[in-house]
């Protein structure tokens, strides 16, 4: 009962504050109120983490109670507002913190534009939308497969074991990865078509698409031969996607309006290259061992998969930007009604 009364008291206080704000501030305006309104949700997301970190740092100092409380209050507010000032300046993560996109378009994918059958690049953008969704599906499937595998050791076991003979429910991993592989292949076609639309480089676009299709085929085919079947190693075809960032840089070389994407692709390739040489024991032998190989594999897989979704999203926005700037129809957006 005491805890219930305490909880009701806290919620009543919150409701009272919100009611006061609604009554007295609804019709008010001004830059300060606008700033605080925009900052509310980011502050809500950031404050607890900052408060915990502040307690961890300040508590050992054994300050007087009043000074400690004041210090925690100031650090929490200052830190939360600092986080808000940072995230509001990064367009890609603004919506994750409850802020509207700077360009005013829906995030992460403009579904309304995708549904317009005559919108320029609409087919390419649908394929890129699949590329955004594929990593999310892959991560969700892995998390679900781990949850369904009691005693699975992330440090020492490989991800392929989630679909192997010892897994209680291998269909979760195998079925999910099969679908993710098909989605990766479709996304690769979207990447190729997007590069061609933005640069008219046919060879680069074709090579990019082929690399993704082979990678997707390797992912899907590997699930038909679960570990430890030797044929499962066809999944190594998926490692060809390591070349995709470089191929995209090649394809987009003539574009001067995507500098951040180019930096991201270059950084992704470098990180994957470092992880490759470390995990293959080409440098720092012994760093990767039987006690931690699982964590290294997960780090490598996260980088290998997640960059695809980010790059697909950025290219989708670039195609949409070009479609808005130059709205004339192209062959992939034929008229809804044929003349004559």
Per-residue pLDDT tens for 159-172?
Answer: 888 888 788 888 88
Q: Is pLDDT of 340 > 80?
A: no
Is residue 170 domain-shared with residue 61, that is, in the same domain?
A: no
Q: Is the dihedral of CA 257, 301, 279, 243 positive or negative?
A: negative
Q: What percent of the chain has pLDDT over 70?
A: 89
Is residue 74 domain-shared with residue 172, that is, in the same domain?
A: no
Q: Is residue 103 part of a domain?
A: no
**What global pTM score does this model have?**
0.61
State the average pLDDT over residues 51-60: 84
State residue 53's pLDDT score. 86
Question: Is the preceding omega at residue 228 within 30 degrees of 0, hence cis?
Answer: yes
**What is the tally of structural domains in the chain?**
2
Q: Is residue 331 part of a domain?
A: no
State the average pLDDT over residues 153-161: 83
Is residue 93 domain-shared with residue 115, that is, in the same domain?
A: no
Alpha-carbon distance of 109 to 313, in angstroms, equals 7
State residue 189's pLDDT score. 92
Is residue 92 domain-shared with residue 121, that is, in the same domain?
A: no
Q: Which of 165-169, 203-207, 247-251, 308-312 shows the lowest mean pLDDT across its residues?
A: 165-169
- Average pLDDT value over all residues in the chain: 82
Q: Is residue 59 part of a domain?
A: yes
Is residue 124 domain-shared with residue 91, that is, in the same domain?
A: no
Is residue 36 domain-shared with residue 134, that is, in the same domain?
A: no
Domain limits for position 131: 111-325
State residue 327's pLDDT score. 63
Sorted by sequence, the CB contacts under 8 Å of residue 63 that are 6+ apart come out as 71
Q: Domain boundary residue among 67, 97, 127?
A: 97
Q: Domain boundary residue among 97, 128, 147?
A: 97
Q: What is the pLDDT of residues 236-292, one digit of tens each?
A: 887 778 888 999 999 988 888 888 899 999 999 998 888 888 877 667 777 778 778
State residue 247's pLDDT score. 92
Q: Is residue 199 part of a domain?
A: yes
Is residue 178 domain-shared with residue 115, that is, in the same domain?
A: yes
Alpha-carbon distance of 47 to 139, in angstroms, equals 27
Alpha-carbon distance of 315 to 80, in angstroms, equals 32
Q: Out of 19-23, 146-150, 184-188, 236-240, give the one with best mean pLDDT.
A: 184-188
Q: Domain boundary residue among 44, 68, 97?
A: 97
Angle between helices 244-251 and 202-222 (to 10 degrees): 160
Within 10 angstroms of residue 339's Cβ, the number of other Cβ atoms is 4
Is residue 115 domain-shared with residue 192, that is, in the same domain?
A: yes
- Residue 138, both tokens: 């892959």
Is residue 84 domain-shared with residue 115, that is, in the same domain?
A: no
pLDDT category of residue 339 using cuts at 50, 70 and 90: very low
Q: Is residue 333 part of a domain?
A: no
Q: What is the pLDDT of residues 70-126, one digit of tens each?
A: 988 899 999 889 988 888 887 777 888 888 877 666 655 555 655 555 567 778 888
Q: Is residue 335 part of a domain?
A: no
- Residue 298, both tokens: 């997960």
The residue among 336, 338, 340, 339 whose CA lies nearest residue 116 is 336
Is residue 132 domain-shared with residue 206, that is, in the same domain?
A: yes
State the average pLDDT over residues 199-205: 89
Is residue 148 domain-shared with residue 248, that is, in the same domain?
A: yes
Task: Say if residues 300 and 242 touch (Cβ distance below 8 Å).
Answer: no
Is residue 200 domain-shared with residue 227, that is, in the same domain?
A: yes
From residue 335, give the alpha-carbon distance in Å to each of 112, 113, 118, 193, 198: 18, 16, 7, 20, 22
Report DSSP state, residue 224: T
Q: Is residue 340 part of a domain?
A: no
């Amino acid at each position: 009962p005491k805890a219930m009364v305490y909880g009701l008291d806290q919620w009543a206080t919150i409701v009272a504050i919100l009611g006061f704000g609604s009554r007295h501030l609804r019709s008010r305006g001004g830059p300060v109120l606008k700033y605080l309104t925009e900052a509310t949700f980011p502050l809500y997301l950031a404050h607890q983490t900052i408060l915990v970190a502040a307690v961890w740092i300040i508590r050992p100092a054994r300050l007087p109670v009043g000074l400690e409380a004041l210090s925690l209050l100031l650090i929490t507010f200052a830190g939360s507002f600092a986080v808000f000032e940072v995230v509001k300046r990064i367009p890609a993560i603004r919506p994750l913190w409850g802020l509207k996109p700077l360009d005013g378009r829906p995030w992460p994918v403009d579904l309304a534009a995708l549904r317009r059958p005559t919108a320029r690049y609409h087919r390419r953008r649908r394929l890129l939308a699949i590329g955004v969704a594929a990593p999310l599906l892959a991560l969700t499937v892995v998390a679900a497969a781990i949850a369904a595998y009691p005693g699975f050791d992330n440090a020492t076991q490989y991800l392929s074991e989630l679909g192997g003979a010892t897994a209680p429910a291998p269909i979760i991993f195998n079925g999910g990865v099969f679908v993710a592989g098909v989605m990766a292949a479709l996304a690769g076609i979207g990447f190729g078509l997007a590069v061609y639309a933005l640069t008219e480089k046919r060879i680069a676009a074709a090579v990019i698409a082929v690399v993704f299709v082979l990678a997707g085929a390797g992912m899907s085919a590997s699930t038909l031969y679960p570990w430890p079947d030797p044929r499962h190693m066809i999944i190594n075809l998926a490692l060809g996607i390591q070349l995709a960032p470089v191929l995209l840089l090649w394809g987009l070389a003539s574009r001067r309006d995507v500098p951040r994407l180019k930096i991201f692709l270059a950084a992704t390739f470098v990180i994957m290259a470092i992880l490759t040489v470390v995990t293959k024991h080409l440098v720092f032998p012994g760093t990767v061992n039987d006690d931690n190989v699982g964590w290294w594999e997960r780090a490598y897989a996260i980088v290998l998969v997640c960059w695809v979704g980010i790059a697909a999203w950025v290219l989708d926005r670039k195609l949409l930007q070009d479609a808005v700037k130059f709205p004339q129809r192209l062959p992939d957006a034929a008229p809804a009604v044929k003349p004559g």
